[in-house]
Amino acid sequence: MIIAEQKTLAEIQEMVAPYRKILLVGCGTCMTFCSAGGPEEVNKLADALVAENKDMVVDKTTTPRQCAEKFIDRLKDKVGDHEAILSMACGNGVQAVASRFPDKPVLPALNTQFIGVEQEKGVWTENCLACGDCILWRTGGVCPVTRCAKSLLNGACGGASEGSCEVSKDRPCAWQEIYHALKRLNMLHYLKGKPQVKDWPIHPGRVVREDLREIKAT
């Protein structure tokens, strides 16, 4: 899932200062799971904004996702005469809402961090860089691009000590984790193959599924 953190209240207040009537929109998927922009966070932020400015009107809603057209479309009856939309979505959601409502300022309440996984309660770690050329099948389900401090594609650098990365002792060496995973799966032969070369994607990325477009057209 996408991980984000809420901007400081001072920064959000600076963004919303020119407006008196705001629609605060949460995201019911990633931002809810990482406790950054779900219904609970929407309520807390709305209360904080009104507490600082008694003249401000903050209406609240949460949509399942702000990155999908069918859910963004549900906001059209809520936007109304609001002067601005304050989005508690990732940067992708903010841009999608801004595209749908081009005549309204859409303000980001969050800072998007990375694609990650919950390591423990309140702790998320980056596991995927969305590089566009996944090699996890050859690395035992451990991504060297993201989890190796040097993003090495072809084996360890030699700087690890007792399983820890030389960059930080609390960071496991990704390539040692890859070795142990492949050994456990009886797949060590992947380490003996040709050096890996990655086909890095061109940005901004775009994926087109003609089969789905045909379904929509019918």
The mean of the pLDDT values for the chain is 91
Q: For 43-76, write each residue's pLDDT tens digit.
A: 999 999 999 899 999 999 999 999 999 999 999 9
Q: Residues 86, 91, 95, 97: is their CA dihedral positive or negative?
A: negative
Q: Residue 138 sits in which domain range?
A: 130-218
- In this structure, the number of other CB atoms found within 10 A of the CB of residue 94 comes to 24
Rounded CA-CA distance 16/32 in Å is: 22
Q: Looking at 6-10, 74-78, 99-103, 207-211, which range is the least confident one?
A: 207-211
* Residue 101 sits in the same domain as residue 150: no
CA angle 69, 30, 102 (to 5 degrees): 35
Looking at 87, 114, 141, which one is the last position of a domain? 114
132: pLDDT confidence band, cut at 50, 70 and 90?
A: confident
Pairing, β 123-128 against β 110-120: antiparallel
Examine residue 209 and state whether it is found in any structural domain, yes or no: yes
pLDDT computed for residue 218 by the predictor:
58
* Residue 105 sits in the same domain as residue 137: no
Closest CA relative to residue 22, chosen from 88, 96, 74: 88
pLDDT computed for residue 86 by the predictor:
98
* Residue 110 sits in the same domain as residue 134: no
Is there a cis peptide before residue 204, judged by omega within 30 degrees of 0? Answer: yes
Structure tokens at 168: 């930080």
**Residue the block writes with tokens 């940067």:** 91
Q: For 163-181, write each residue's pLDDT tens digit.
A: 899 998 888 999 999 999 9
Outline where DSSP puts E strands in 54-164: 57-63, 84-88, 106-108, 110-120, 123-128
* Residue 137 sits in the same domain as residue 209: yes
Q: For 117-128, write each residue's pLDDT tens digit.
A: 988 888 999 999
Rounded CA-CA distance 185/174 in Å is: 16
